Amino acid sequence: MPGMKVQYFTEREEEFAGTLIAVGLPRIVAKVLVFLAYAGEASSRDIERGADLRQPEVSLAMQYLLERGWVASRLDKTDAIGRPQNIFSLSRPIAEIVGQIQTEKETEIRHKIELTRKIRDYVS
């Protein structure tokens, strides 16, 4: 495909994905989320190349992101021949998605603190 431009992660994007992974987001989900945050919209193939993932990994990540309502897809029928391809984009601003992740993690932490208090009650 002449003129096709492949976007790769910058150091900052790698750090962003690494931080999302560190807080518990699956690696493939973090990479796809960061890729779409900076690319705007992309096909599965673009995501595979740019995020250095295999096709099954992109599919699994998309399933996770679609279930949470973080990603939208549309069919692109630009080629007259062949199947139309899905084009993915974030359905919400990345800041809103990060806020939702933060809320989920804070809830998990509060739950774990309650469990440790309960454990302490057993040994007291």
pLDDT tens for 64-122 read 999 999 999 988 877 667 788 889 999 999 999 999 999 999 999 999 999 999 999 88
CATH number of the CATH domain containing 51 = 1.10.10.10
pLDDT in tens, 30-69: 999 999 999 899 989 999 998 989 999 999 999 999 999 9
* 111, part of any domain: no
Domain containing residue 37: 11-92
Query: Does residue 15 sit within a domain?
Result: yes
Tell me, yes or no, whether 120 lies in a domain: no
Residue 52 belongs to a domain: yes
Structurally, the chain folds into a number of domains equal to 1
- Assigned domain for 102 exists: no
- How far, CA to CA in Å, does 20 sit from each of 87, 97, 108? 23, 11, 15
40-74: burial string, b at 16+ Cβ within 10 Å, e else: eebebebbbbbbebeeebbebbbebbeeeebbebe
Residue 23: inside a domain: yes
Report yes or no on 100 lying in a domain.
Answer: no
